[in-house]
Amino acid sequence: MNAAARLRNPRNVELGMLVFSLVIAMAAYASVGLAHDGQLPAGMVGYGAGLGVLFLAAHLTLRRFARDADPVLLPSVTLINGLGLAIIHRLDLAAADRATRLGIDAPSAAAPPQLTWTAVGVILFVVVLVGVRDHRVLQRFTYTAMLAGLGLLLLPLVPGIGTTINGARIWIRVAGFSFQPGELAKICLLVFFAGYLVVKRDVLALASRRVAGVDLPRARDLGPILVAWAASLAVLVFERDLGTSLLFFGVFVALLYVATERLSWLLIGLGLFASGSFVAWSLFSHVQDRVDIWLHAFAPDNVGDSSYQLVQGLFGMGTGGILGKGLGQGRPDIVPYANTDFIIAAVGEELGLTGLMALLVIYGIIVQRGLRTSIAVRDAFGKLLAAGLAFSLALQVFVVVGGVTRLIPLTGLTMPFLSYGGSSLVSNWVLIALLLRISDAARRPAPTPSASLQDARTQVVRL
φ, ψ dihedrals at 177, nearest 5°: -105, 140
The helix (H) or strand (E) run that includes residue 163 is strand 162-165
Closest CA to 20 of 320, 415, 362: 362
> Model pTM?
0.89
The Cα 173–Cα 247 span in angstroms is 23
Residues of the chain predicted below pLDDT 50: 3, 5, 7, 451-453, 456, 458-463
**DSSP assignment, residue 387?**
H
SS3 164: strand
Coil, strand or helix at 171: strand
Q: CA 342, CA 363: separation in Å to the nearest integer?
A: 17
Residue-level pLDDT at 197: 85
Cβ atoms of 389 and 370 within 8 Å: the answer is yes
Whole-number pLDDT of residue 454: 54
Neighbour count for residue 206 (Cβ, 10 Å): 13
- Domain ranges in the chain are 3-462
Note the pLDDT of residue 463. 41
Please spell the DSSP secondary structure of 425-438, one letter per residue: HHHHHHHHHHHHHH
DSSP letter, residue 219:
G
pLDDT, one tens digit per residue, over 320-341 is 999 989 888 888 888 888 888 8
Q: For residues 384 and 4, what is the distance between their CA atoms, to the nearest angstrom?
A: 37
**pLDDT of the residue at 116:** 92
Q: What are phi and psi of 209, to 5 degrees?
A: -155, 165
Amino acid present at 301: D
